[in-house]
Structure 1
Amino acid sequence: MESRDKQLEQFVDCFQAIGRFMKRNQWSNQGATEITKTQWLILRFLWKHDGCTIGQLAERLEVRSSSMSQMIDRLELAGTVFREQDKNDARTRIVKLTDTGRETITSMKNAQVEMLAGPFNQLTLEEQTALVEIMQKMTSSLKPQGRQRQEGK
């Protein structure tokens, strides 16, 4: 068991080092694109899902809907998102990316990929494939701590 704990500790150290590297480089080199990490997460989620409700965004980022509404207000003022009426439910608004929002997320995503390309390309193709599969497997089994506690009750 001790060996397993040591491996997990090494994994956490590596994961944190990668996170610090990305934070240091992405947010310091973003240039004219002045958005916060939370705004980046919102834009990226909208980019992947072609729009969604404020409730869906709030659930994804684990914040209250009222907090998410305020975040969307700021992104709307920045011209990166817009709200439109849901075709199936007139009471519901769908948040979508504007062209500016798509350009912002695309340029930042490309910079992120470029930033990690060097270290990633140090791995063989087999190692790259295995790493991605392992990370996807781990990610799919994660649950927010609050939900685990609620489900355990």
Structure 2
Amino acid sequence: MLDQSPVGPENDGYIGYMVSDVARLMRTVFDRRVRDLGLTRAQWLVLTRLYRRPGASQTELANMLEVDRASAGRMIDRMERAGWVERRADEVDRRINRLFLTAVAKRAHADMWQIAVATVDDALSALTPEERLLFTDLTGRVKGRLQALAGAAA
């Protein structure tokens, strides 16, 4: 049985700190590993978001990255000049540009994905296969609850 005693915010074992620290450390380890591909955190975040949502608008990408539209625009400009992203006019509304990864970016994403899988495997190596499944299930349930709360607040 798990210890049910409350852990206060003055303790490093507080769940809020633990979740935040795990996410931060995963990003830190991943950042170091993808640096050899020549990717910054901002760039790999853009690659990941556009891979999952090809054709997103600049506004949609800014929302996904949780940055303002101007910051997203500058990032997209740099990535477009580097040959990673291309803008295409929306078929219905010419004022909107849709964003797509180039072939070079898709290859980088494939390389990046292998590093991501290895990073997660390394992070979870202390868990048994059963514990990994349980962790995934519990994390998914918490994520679903937070999504419901975020939707209710919106």
Q: With structure 1 as the length reference, what TM-score do the two structures score?
A: 0.77
**More displaced stretch, 48-57 vs 28-37:** 28-37
Q: Relative to structure 1, is the Cα distance of residues 24 and 68 closer, same or farther in structure 2, using a 3 angstrom cutoff?
A: closer
Q: Deviations over 1:93-116 (max 9, x none)?
A: 100111111111221121121122
Q: Secondary structure at the match of 1:3?
A: coil
Deviation at 1:135, TM superposition (A): 1.7
Residue aligning to 1:92: 96
Residue aligning to 2:105: 101
- Give the 5 Å matches for 1:1-150: 3-6=5-8, 9-142=13-146
* Structure 2, unpaired ranges of 5+: none
Q: Secondary structure at the match of 2:86?
A: strand
* Structure 1, unpaired ranges of 5+: none
Q: Distance in 2 between matches of 1:131 and 1:68?
A: 33
- Report the count of equivalent residues: 146
Q: What is the root-mean-square deviation in Å for CA atoms of aligned residues?
A: 2.9
Deviation at 1:88, TM superposition (A): 2.4
Q: Secondary structure at the match of 1:30?
A: helix
Q: With structure 2 as the length reference, what TM-score do the two structures score?
A: 0.76
Q: Relative to structure 1, is the Cα distance of residues 127 and 142 closer, same or farther in structure 2, using a 3 angstrom cutoff?
A: same
Q: Distance in 1 between matches of 2:120 and 2:130?
A: 17
Runs of 4+ aligned residues of structure 1 deviating over 6 Å after TM superposition are none
